[in-house]
Amino acid sequence: GAGVSQSPSNKVTEKGKDVELRCDPISGHTALYWYRQSLGQGLEFLIYFQGNSAPDKSGLPSDRFSAERTGGSVSTLTIQRTQQEDSAVYLCASSPSGLAGETQYFGPGTRLLVL
Amino acid sequence: GNSVTQMEGPVTLSEEAFLTINCTYTATGYPSLFWYVQYPGEGLQLLLKATKADDKGSNKGFEATYRKETTSFHLEKGSVQVSDSAVYFCALTSSGGSYIPTFGRGTSLIVHP
């Protein structure tokens, strides 16, 4: 079927506003990951879902960041009270089971700009 | 913990030149190694991978060999094209502990005609 999709593709918001970023993984993939990619930087891990559970939230930078996944499918990353340093590309990836050795399939990303 | 170190970029080459991008790693357990490529404005996509020592991954003319003795997974291509211009990420997942992938910082490749 289709690959990983993310929406919106671009988001411009004002400092202090809340934003929601959406990820639709490949159908049947139980593992889902969120990453942040700042300009010229590598990938920063944010959170990992296995089904609807998040066994690893260690990468969330502050309590302004939260994420959920429902129905073992769609995931939403929410950033409350956005700050300028939140500006980045947010990437979502999924894999079949989350096991070592599996390929990750990435979405095109959401480019967030906080003014 | 796990870590991946890539050579700093950008790497600038002329078309048909030979490419090497170095990648070394530290890991617990038995890692699987990956190269992902990110074309401008897109997400990452798998280029190649190797899941055990001495395996060679290959795709689109790119190759990398999993060298356990030197903890390396260098990416090579014999003749680069302008269309290979992208950012290349080395990554690993390890069976020893969390399966969360560890990525290198990425190496930008610019190929001139």
A104 near B CB under 8 A:
yes
**Structure tokens belonging to residue A63:** 């309590």
pLDDT single digits (tens) B13-48: 999 999 999 999 999 878 999 999 999 888 899 999
pLDDT tens-place string over residues A41-99: 788 999 999 999 988 888 999 999 999 999 989 999 999 999 999 999 999 999 998 88
**Where do we find the tokens 């030979």?**
B18
Question: For residue B76, which of B13, B22, B10 has the smallest C-alpha distance?
Answer: B22
Pairing of strands B107-112, B11-14: parallel
Query: End-to-end distance of chain B based on CA atoms, in angstroms?
Result: 41
Other CB atoms within 10 Å distance of the CB of residue B22: 16
* A-chain residues near B44 (CB < 8 A): 43, 91, 93, 104, 106
Residue B72: how many other CB atoms lie within 10 Å: 17
Q: Is residue A13 a contact partner of residue A82, using CB atoms and an 8 Å limit?
A: yes
CB A94 within 8 Å of CB A73: no
Contacts of A45 in chain B (CB under 8 A): 100-101
